[in-house]
Amino acid sequence: MTSKALENGRRSKRHIFHKAKVNRSHAGNAVVFTCILILGAFMALPFVYALGSAFKPLNELFLYPPRLLPQNPTLDNFIGLWTLMKSSWVPMSRYIFNTLLITAAGSAGQIILASMCAFPLAKHPFPGNKFIFRVIFLSLMFHASATAIPTYIIMAKLHMLDTYWALILPACASSFGLYLMKQFIEQINNAVLEAAEIDGANIWQTYIRIVMPMVKPAWLTLMVFSVQSLWNIGSSTYIYSEELKTFSYAVSQVVAGGVARTGTGMAISVIMMVVPITVYLITQSSVMQTMASSGVKE
Amino acid sequence: MNTNIKLHSLQKRRLRDGITGFLFTLPFVVGFILFIFSPVVMYLAMSFSKLSLNDAGAMVFENVKWDNYINVLFEQPDFLKRLASSLGDFALRCPAILFFSLFIAIILNQRFHGRALVRAVFFLPVLVYSGAALMFSNDALSNDYFKLLSSDSDETVNLAQYVISVLGGTEDSPILDIVSTLMDKIYDITCSSGVQILIYLAGLQSISPQLYEASSVEGCTGWESFWKITLPMISPMILVNAVYTVIDVLGNPTNTIINTLYSLAMDSGNYGLSAAMGLIYFLIIFIILGAVFFVINRFVFYEENI
């Protein structure tokens, strides 16, 4: 009897607490979301400005104070860009193909190599695996632009200068990508891997069927990073034939035309941003339903 | 006899797994040795030598021992000053970015309408800043990318000034100064948090919903489940983000030291000096990275430790 009363008391107390909590968090949520909204508006402002400017006629581009949105929207900037591109020496489609190839191959290579290396480092120790990881981790501190000259010399020795490989292969060996993947794979419950092993899966099968699906948020995130950086590769010291240069390089040449190209430049910046943003939106929507059904019952 | 055979096959399996594991790491390790490790070794060699071109146009290394290092430390008064300011800036920004991005990521991880859009908005600075904006890069070193996007116009339009001018305020009130510096700082931190937010979000997505279910069945409040579930489960990502923030803030192309390194090598052709300066700087980054790793790793919760 007494224990029942006590139980009831506890329950009602908990109930009250629960209710109070919910109410408070509602008020808190409102404040927090207002903050987010304001911050988000500031984040979006430059993008909206670029988007708006891409559709501005020439006389509105240099107004001061600048206007966010065009009053008389026009497609002149895009049409101008189209004419400029048609007159280029190497067809624009070639630049686009180059960029697409480098982005796709580089991102795929980075994800596959990093996750393949991270899996045994995190879950299948072999002699020397700690040493390998430490050396890779230490290399994080060296900035790529600082070691550009030695890299150039090595590429020359490997006969990779002026080929696609010069841009694709270095992208595949990303220390940070490896570190990110290792940290995520380490989070996987060992029981899941043991279960797979007991069911007769070898390392390769475990990697494809268990590990990769479970760390999908990680490699999708890595994909966003690598697509983002590879898509924007502009002029590179390793490439000098015009036919192998990237889209980003080609459009930066257009912008370099000066003040008169401001409108065209805006149109370009919008086009350049569209691809990474699309990749980002697609990956983020598929990150959502990853973890829902995985786990162990003990 | 029977157990003996079993033991034997187990050992065999261990060995095979070890070899397969090693083979898995091989492609990355080869790439790493070629494109990261050997350039660094050559960089080290460069720092001890004076590089010049001979008549045939080939590079000649001349060993000068510690000369470059002595030069950097004692004959470049700007270097130490710049180093101090860059590290001071780092000490303020790094923790701010880490806390801010965790805060935003936790909010963005909740369910609400238009979540995908808001998430995209917070990643925009990364896309815009490092990509298209740099094409107008006469001025890429400036943080104010609003200015970058309005590219060629001579007026440097500050975001705060812009907003206030839209709202109909005057341009040179003292309040404007305070508001504009404050906003600049917040803006700067938000802009540098894009990658971190994304990594935290991926981490939050990887937490099994069963944990939250179980805790809510047990009567856990949101506050408790944050401290007992979210934080421990996300702690490895805090470490990743700390590491990323260190290398991003200190190794960013807009960093003054990185700038000096680059211009020394590319514009003045003083490769040896640049390499020596770089190595001193990277050694400092290494110490910071080591300290950050050591401190945070003690608080990181790994699943296998249960």
Residue B263: its pLDDT value, please? 80
- Check: complex ipTM more than 0.85: no
B-chain CB neighbours of A40 within 8 Å are 118, 121-122
Query: Homologous superfamily of A76-292 in CATH?
Result: MetI-like (1.10.3720.10)
* CB contact (8 A) between residue B121 and residue A170: no
* CB contact (8 A) between residue B124 and residue A43: yes
Under a CB-based contact definition with an 8 Å cutoff, are residues A161 and A155 in contact? Answer: yes
Residue B160: its pLDDT value, please? 53
Q: pLDDT (tens digit, 9 = 90+) per residue, B127-186?
A: 765 544 444 433 332 333 344 333 333 344 455 555 555 555 555 566 666 666 676 677
Residue A12: its pLDDT value, please? 44
Residue A115: its pLDDT value, please? 93
**Interface with B, mutate which of A133, A141, A159, A285 (most B CBs under 10 A):** A141
Query: Does the CB of A252 have a partner CB in chain B at under 8 Å?
Result: yes
Domain residues of chain B, as ranges?
72-305
Which amino acid type is present at position B229? I
Residue from the list A114, A142, A187 with its beta carbon closest to the beta carbon of B236: A187
Q: Give strand pairing partners of B52.
A: B60
Under a CB-based contact definition with an 8 Å cutoff, are residues A79 and A64 in contact? Answer: no
Residue B167: its pLDDT value, please? 57
**Interface with A, mutate which of B40, B104, B137, B206 (most A CBs under 10 A):** B206
Residue B3: its pLDDT value, please? 57
Q: Once rounded to an integer, what is the mean pLDDT over residues B80-87? A: 86
B-chain CB neighbours of A203 within 8 Å are 17, 20-21, 24
Q: What global pTM score does this model have?
A: 0.79
A-chain CB neighbours of B149 within 8 Å are 46, 49-50, 53, 269
Nearest to A77 by CA among A233, A234, A264, A260: A264
Report phi then psi at B131, rounded to 5.
Answer: -100, -105
**3-state SS, residue B66:** coil
Q: Give strand pairing partners of B60.
A: B52
Q: What is the CATH number of domain B72-305?
A: 1.10.3720.10
Packing angle between helix B115-130 and helix B194-205, nearest 10 degrees? 140
What does the alpha-carbon distance between residue A292 and residue B285 come to, in Å, rounded to a whole number? Answer: 39
Q: Give strand pairing partners of B49.
A: B63
Report phi then psi at B76, rounded to 5.
Answer: -120, 80
* CB contact (8 A) between residue A190 and residue B303: yes
Residue from the list A117, A137, A248 with its beta carbon closest to the beta carbon of B29: A117
What does the alpha-carbon distance between residue B134 and residue B126 come to, in Å, rounded to a whole number? Answer: 11
What does the alpha-carbon distance between residue B244 and residue B289 come to, in Å, rounded to a whole number? Answer: 10
Residue from the list B28, B162, B206 with its beta carbon closest to the beta carbon of A117: B28
Q: Once rounded to an integer, what is the mean pLDDT over residues B242-248? A: 88
Which amino acid type is present at position B37? F
What does the alpha-carbon distance between residue B90 and residue B246 come to, in Å, rounded to a whole number? Answer: 8
Residue B173: its pLDDT value, please? 60
Mean pLDDT, rounded, of chain B: 76
Buried b or exposed e, range A29-52, using 16+ CB within 10 angstroms: eeebeeebeebbebbbbbbebbbb
Under a CB-based contact definition with an 8 Å cutoff, are residues B89 and B290 in contact? Answer: no
B-chain CB neighbours of A265 within 8 Å are 135-136, 151-152
Q: Once rounded to an integer, what is the mean pLDDT over residues B105-130? A: 77
Is residue B297's pLDDT more than 80? yes
Is residue B210's pLDDT more than 50? yes
Residue from the list B135, B166, B210 with its beta carbon closest to the beta carbon of A252: B135
Stretches in chain A below the pLDDT threshold 70: 1-25, 61-68, 235, 256-261, 287-298
Which amino acid type is present at position A108? A
